[in-house]
Structure 1
């Protein structure tokens, strides 16, 4: 049975319109971004940046992804989810188009920082407009469906990039991404349905994220984002692949293409497992698997071993990401969801942004493997914190 037939058998065709629109549009946009995105660390090197400057750039990009989430959450609660999804999409499209015409590494990084700030403002409304469109017990499947399409796009993007790279420069592909972003903005503006309702929930105060279950969620978000910055979405995988594993640019693009393609299957399975077993157990299993396979990936054993182990790590990371999205929307639903998601995203994003430069600064003393060992330690912290949220074990098998 193909993955697409499996979607139908999972009864996902009855998902609300917002979930499908966000899945389709995000997948197309991500494909256009990831035909070149995985090569950014190498591209910055070619523009004259040092390895430390590359890691510093990624740190600033991580800060940018957090800095706008708190105001974005407040605006999403006041103005609605849809405007906070549509407007940043247009902004990102314009910025990417401009990014195709800059020729210094610091100017290119500045463009990416501005894109990430726009995306961070978009984040709380982005998550809410999908989560609020479905009943709570189906949110795992909704995020699973969304991640299925993201997995497809993350696979197709680098694969298409590997084909296009001999014919088109990275700046040309970046400018193309900008055009796609503007088209996606129009699509979302015409198709999305507003989900914001009059808020009768408990009023949220910023200091509450430092108490109780929100504090645990803050630790989880900080650790999980740091792991992401050090492994799957950070600069160290491409750099280690070239410097230590001896992979070519084309092999790196293929590495990032096959992993998400394999992870597509887990997206739908994880959503269903969350409904049955609970997001806590699925996230713990995903975190452990991610770090285990990344540590095996470090072994220099040729492209085949690197491909297999990285694909398995990506598979596990995908499951953990879906569980994390479900967990944070579940907890935030007791408050003003946009404000809670924004506050948590801002604080965890700013703190976790330090992971990459700290790891980079210590590589000369502790070796090129250190970022991945650091991620494994943070993974242990994540597991400990997630394990404390036992009230969020959702055992709903009887009702499915």
Structure 2
């Protein structure tokens, strides 16, 4: 790889492959939910913990994965993270008890969490500022594509739910050697590390006028990921609860992920090319409308359309957040800043599946679950607009120096 353009292309391509595998593993438990429920005799609350314990692992994984990467490099931590979630995803297929299932899902989440801030940082630093949102979009569209593949595998695997986790474990382990040989370390990070002066985590996140922007970013991550992970984990079960068949639920889940792929691409592209506040308003308004469609649709055609729209808008919202985070922070603390935001979002990721399980157990039904998420999305949209508004005043996105 002799030219910067070649290194950028290779970085984004390899990060896309990792994101594809990550998306597969993130949705593995959701697509295998029926088999897990039957094998381990799980009630809705227990299923909520199966979904949430992996997400709990994402939280420390995201924070410490970013924090350590700012000290020893993005590439090393990413390779370690991919190895970790590959091993424990594979082990999920062979557990023999509920407690062991929770343990391996937590460890899988730890690896998945550590991978994401480094994928974002590597792609953000591989291109110039004008193409940052697009680069992150191209990388991140691998996540919903991976989720769609997980849904397809689950449809063909029928009652053999272990197949999903075997594929989800072997794929990352096969990619690790390619990453070791081919993935370049961020040149921006290497240059900055030479002259880096270490600062405290608090100063990295809240110093130099970043307190309000960081807080707004965290609020938007929390509430947006609450909805995203509720849908990722509970959508098939919610559809079954509404009377749709398992193949119909699988089809809607697949359309949700296809919509998410399109949303991932559009989120960064629009952010690079259009007024960001208008993009945010459109995305969150569309997400609220799509959730209403999922809650009130009675036929498979309108439900399929609502599922596609929900995937498109929730992934576009998340991609906007992922594209906004890196330029808020200088290079020497960028992975820490992104990792902290992702970790806060994981708190919402934990809350979403757990809350859905509790609401369903209380008998509120699908509509009750979806209506409960609406106020949080309004808060998320307002928080993102605050971050963007401050960035245009020179307090964030365009002015964080690479030092």
TM value normalised by structure 2: 0.84
Contact 1:202 1:336 in 2 (8 A): no
C-alpha distance in structure 2 between counterparts of 1:358 and 1:39, whole Å: 19
Residues 79-102 of structure 1 show CA distances to partners (whole Å, capped at 9, x for unaligned) of: 100011111211222212221111
Contact 1:31 1:154 in 2 (8 A): yes
Contact 2:271 2:320 in 1 (8 A): yes
* 1:186 equivalenced with 2:177 (yes/no): yes
- For 1:44, the equivalent position in structure 2 comes to 36
**How far is 1:30 from its partner?**
3.9
C-alpha distance in structure 1 between counterparts of 2:383 and 2:197, whole Å: 24
C-alpha change, 1:74 and 1:44, in structure 2 (3 Å) is same
C-alpha distance in structure 2 between counterparts of 1:177 and 1:395, whole Å: 36
How many equivalent residue pairs? 379
Aligned to 2:296, the other structure's residue is in SS state coil
- For 1:310, the equivalent position in structure 2 comes to 307
**Equivalences for 1:148-167 in 2 at 5 Å?**
148-162=141-155, 164-166=156-158
**How far is 1:344 from its partner?**
2.7
Match of 2:85 among 77, 89, 92: 92
- For 2:339, the equivalent position in structure 1 comes to 342
Structure 2: stretches of 5+ with no match in the other structure: 399-403
C-alpha distance in structure 1 between counterparts of 2:46 and 2:65, whole Å: 29
Contact 2:63 2:342 in 1 (8 A): yes
C-alpha distance in structure 2 between counterparts of 1:372 and 1:305, whole Å: 16
Contact 1:60 1:113 in 2 (8 A): yes
**How far is 1:279 from its partner?**
4.2
Match of 2:244 among 238, 247, 254: 247
Contact 1:25 1:188 in 2 (8 A): no
C-alpha distance in structure 1 between counterparts of 2:197 and 2:309, whole Å: 41
Contact 2:21 2:146 in 1 (8 A): yes
Residues 282-311 of structure 1 show CA distances to partners (whole Å, capped at 9, x for unaligned) of: 233222211211111112412222111110
- For 1:109, the equivalent position in structure 2 comes to 102
**Equivalences for 1:1-400 in 2 at 5 Å?**
16-28=9-21, 30-31=23-24, 36-46=28-38, 47-162=40-155, 164-166=156-158, 169-195=160-186, 196-197=189-190, 198-199=192-193, 204-208=199-203, 209=205, 211-230=211-230, 232-235=231-234, 237-244=235-242, 246-333=243-330, 336-350=333-347, 353-365=350-362, 367-368=364-365, 369-389=367-387, 390-392=389-391
C-alpha distance in structure 1 between counterparts of 2:338 and 2:397, whole Å: 25
Residues 148-191 of structure 1 show CA distances to partners (whole Å, capped at 9, x for unaligned) of: 343433333322431x224x711133123222121011222221
C-alpha distance in structure 2 between counterparts of 1:119 and 1:367, whole Å: 32
Aligned to 1:110, the other structure's residue is in SS state helix
Contact 1:143 1:271 in 2 (8 A): yes
C-alpha distance in structure 2 between counterparts of 1:268 and 1:350, whole Å: 25
**How far is 1:335 from its partner?**
6.0
TM value normalised by structure 1: 0.85
**How far is 1:330 from its partner?**
1.9
C-alpha distance in structure 1 between counterparts of 2:15 and 2:311, whole Å: 22
C-alpha distance in structure 2 between counterparts of 1:38 and 1:216, whole Å: 30
Aligned to 1:336, the other structure's residue is in SS state helix
Contact 1:144 1:322 in 2 (8 A): yes
Which deviates more, 37-46 or 112-121? 37-46
Contact 1:144 1:269 in 2 (8 A): yes
C-alpha distance in structure 1 between counterparts of 2:327 and 2:95, whole Å: 42
Contact 2:62 2:116 in 1 (8 A): yes
Structure 1: stretches of 5+ with no match in the other structure: 1-11
Residues 362-392 of structure 1 show CA distances to partners (whole Å, capped at 9, x for unaligned) of: 4455712222112111101111111212144
Aligned to 2:126, the other structure's residue is in SS state coil
Which deviates more, 355-364 or 168-177? 355-364
Kindly report the root-mean-square deviation, in angstroms, between the aligned alpha carbons of the 2 structures.
Answer: 2.8
**How far is 1:60 from its partner?**
2.4
C-alpha distance in structure 2 between counterparts of 1:220 and 1:33, whole Å: 21
**How far is 1:38 from its partner?**
3.1
C-alpha change, 1:364 and 1:181, in structure 2 (3 Å) is closer
Which deviates more, 198-207 or 348-357? 198-207
C-alpha distance in structure 2 between counterparts of 1:384 and 1:41, whole Å: 34
